[in-house]
């Protein structure tokens, strides 16, 4: 729950960059609210949405301290397995498993960067005019 504030502030900052008249104009033109959301609000806020997603994912991957206390014995969680492997005395195996977690985070961050670049190409075309 303590990660909520960062995500909330990011979303609020993204929404504050929108002009307040978008809804009024779409209402006066009788454009449905969902269409305004899909064609105006979502493209402008997409980079912030992607940043929120990557922040939550990486925070969840790094939350070993909390995860140790809430997992069940039948659940095999990678971060908890690293601690257990290290406690068993297999430091090299624990380091290898940690690097797998780091690699998963790097791949996810790379995909987020590609999605952000693709979204910017489509949604920021108006900036070139």
Distance CA 50, CA 55 (A): 9
Give which of 3, 5, 117 is closest to 60, Cα–Cα: 3
Does the pTM surpass 0.75? The reply is: no
Query: What does the domain layout of the chain look like in residue ranges?
Result: 4-124
Sign of dihedral through CA atoms 71, 74, 77, 78? positive
Query: What pLDDT score was predicted for residue 129?
Result: 57
Mean pLDDT by runs of 10 across the 129 residues of the chain is 84 88 86 87 87 84 64 71 87 89 86 83 64
**Whole-angstrom Cα Rg for the chain:** 21
- Work out the number of other CB atoms within 10 angstroms of the CB of residue 76: 10
* The predicted structure's pLDDT at residue 24: 85
């Amino acid at each position: 729950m303590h990660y909520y504030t960062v995500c909330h502030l990011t979303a609020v900052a993204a929404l504050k960059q929108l002009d307040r008249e978008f809804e009024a104009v779409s209402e006066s033109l009788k454009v449905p609210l969902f269409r305004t959301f899909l064609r105006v609000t979502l493209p402008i806020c997409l980079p912030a949405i992607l940043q929120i997603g990557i922040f939550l994912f990486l925070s969840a991957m790094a939350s070993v301290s909390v995860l140790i206390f809430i997992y069940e014995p039948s659940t095999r969680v990678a971060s908890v397995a690293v601690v257990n492997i290290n406690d068993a005395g297999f430091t090299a195996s624990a380091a290898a498993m940690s690097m797998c977690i780091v690699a998963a985070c790097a791949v996810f961050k790379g995909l987020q960067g590609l999605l952000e670049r693709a979204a910017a190409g489509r949604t920021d075309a108006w900036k070139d005019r």
